Amino acid sequence: MTGPRLWVVRHGETAWSACGRHTSRSDLPLTELGEDEALALKPLLSEQQFPLVLSSPMQRAARTAELAGFTAVTDNDLVEWDYGELEGLTTEQIRDRYPGWTIWEGPWPGGESPVQVAARADRALQRARAVGGDVLMFAHGHILRVLTARWLRRPPTDGRILILRTGAVGVLGWEHGSPAVDLWNVSPRLLRLAEA
């Protein structure tokens, strides 16, 4: 099976992403750098045709889509992993309570498990596959990493191997009929700076 590709974009930087605080339901705006990251996406993405553009309803994702030049349809399944009681904490702060903690292994007090996040990712993938053309999604780091693992027909916890920086792009496609990653963690802003 082959088919259209799925383009995924992590939102630009926020004050919490800049310092490693876990952000799911807190609706934070982009920083100035985050807006620059979003604007830098426009030249790359404007060359593509997308019959459907989806975004998490959180302002950091919706604003990234807007600055990149798109009017996106809101998809609640693209909201970030619900961190529950861990919202706003850094990994180091969480490990003070739960030694050795990772988002992939938990615990998730008051939040979502990987299986619950995967169910949302699977629904978003089902909508994307029904379109019949390339789809563009603006969302968040952990949900997009789980979604990519599911695209690859892997368990959601395999998202642990997929780093995705703010303002970065991934392209999910096909290789000889199998789902594959065409491009991953590409930051147009950083590429532009490297060329200067």
Residues catalogued as catalytic: 11, 80
Are the C-beta atoms of 138 and 55 separated by less than 8 Å?
yes
Q: N- to C-terminal Cα distance for the chain?
A: 41
Helices 32-45/59-67 angle, 10° precision? 50
Q: Helices (H) and strands (E) in the chain — how many of each?
A: 7, 6
Tell me the residue type at 73.
V
What distance in Å separates the CA atoms of residue 90 and residue 94, rounded to the nearest whole number?
6
> In the 8-state DSSP scheme, what is residue 2?
-
- Single out the residue of 172, 187, 145 nearest to residue 43, CA to CA: 187
